[in-house]
Amino acid sequence: MTTNARFTALAASLPSTVPFTGPEEMERRRGAPFAARLGANENGFGPSPRAIAAMQAAATEMWQYGDPASHDLRQALAAHWGCGVDNIVVGTGIDGLLGELVRLTVSAGEAIVTSLGAYPTFNYHVAGFGGRIETVPYRDDAEDLPALLARAAQVDAKLVYFANPDNPMGSWQRGADVAAALDALPEGCLLILDEAYGEFAPEEASVPLAVDDPRVIRMRTFSKGYGLAGARVGYALAAPELISAFDKVRNHFGMNRGAQAAALAALQDQDWLAHVRDEVTRARDEIARIGAAQGLTALPSATNFVALDCGGDGARARALVAALAEEGVFVRMPFVAPQDRCIRISCGPSADLDALEAALPRALARLDPVA
């Protein structure tokens, strides 16, 4: 049957694709579950027990909508960051906030600038609103902020996307260098500073700018360090004039009541966050060791994942990702050369890394069978 829906010309022109294929879909296709889920950069060490208890307590109240203003969570975040509540908007993860920001700022045909091979969901939103995507290559496996800003000036970009630390490579840049580079940000252009992995970054990566600096919107999440990826809670920090504009387009009842309670409890348990950081540090070292034993080189990482250089090209890395999936281990890889020579492995508990250690030599043998 056909549909009575009349798509816009823009929607009709878009491919029927999504930024990522989820591990659940991959399990359905292979007809078996993964033994280790190390591809989505989730926090395999779990959320704070206090967050779990808060979700459980909220379960009996799930017949109620969540607070449209996320008042309690925003109050706590304001105290955490030493800013005003009017500097903070809460949304359905950074992904949801990116979509709302693009809707607010980018009209059809207007340009944004991002790194070639950077987090693809931002591009997905830009394409959905008819924006023009301008890209700049990575430099030395890191995003090149000066080049991004130079391109923004050339194309009159509305937005520049920059992640620190970076996904998919795990690299990070000194916050002081980021702040100094913003002297070259064109007038009328906004920098999106994606700090999804900020809880894992060294102190030097912190950008010394006021929360209400009009040139920047900083985006944070409870998905990574706080272990609440499935709850979908993110927030943005910016000048009040920009934050209040989100009320024009956001889904005011989009926040799950249990997720709001869990995020608040997680924020209040910084001891658990410190525990997760320690576990991630150990897991990064273990992934590097496992890779080195098989001739793969770990790139320096300030995130909860490690990029392993496979010593070849994108075709070899893709084959290794597929071979690991056949061995029951879910990992991902960068999409664009030359970064696609790597595979990307999320930090996880010992049992998952044991599964990786057992599967990796078997997967490599699929690529390089003994003659």
pLDDT digits (tens, 9 = 90+) for 57-99: 999 999 999 999 999 999 999 999 999 999 999 999 999 999 9
Distance CA 50, CA 38 (A): 25
Average pLDDT, the chain: 96
Q: Determine which helix (DSSP H) or strand (DSSP E) holds 305, and give its type and residue range.
A: strand 305-309
Above 60 in pLDDT, residue 261? yes
The packing angle between helices 350-367 and 270-293, to 10°, is: 30
Above 70 in pLDDT, residue 180? yes
Tell me: the pLDDT tens digits for 121-172? 999 999 999 999 999 999 999 999 999 999 999 999 999 999 999 999 999 9
Distance CA 239, CA 247 (A): 14
In 3D, which of 138, 62, 131, 75 has the Cα closest to residue 101? 131
State residue 1's pLDDT score: 59
State residue 371's pLDDT score: 42
Please name the residues in contact with 340: beta carbons below 8 A apart, sequence gap of 6 or more: 117, 313, 314, 317, 318, 333, 334
Percent of the chain with pLDDT over 70: 99
Above 90 in pLDDT, residue 16? no
Above 80 in pLDDT, residue 222? yes
In 3D, which of 223, 231, 199 has the Cα closest to residue 80? 199
**Could you tell me how far CA 142 lies from the centroid of its own chain?**
15
State residue 280's pLDDT score: 98
State residue 20's pLDDT score: 83
User: What structural domains and CATH numbers belong to the chain?
Assistant: 20-46+271-367 (3.90.1150.10), 49-268 (3.40.640.10)
In 3D, which of 93, 139, 85 has the Cα closest to residue 117? 139
Highest mean pLDDT: which of 9-18, 21-30, 208-217? Answer: 208-217
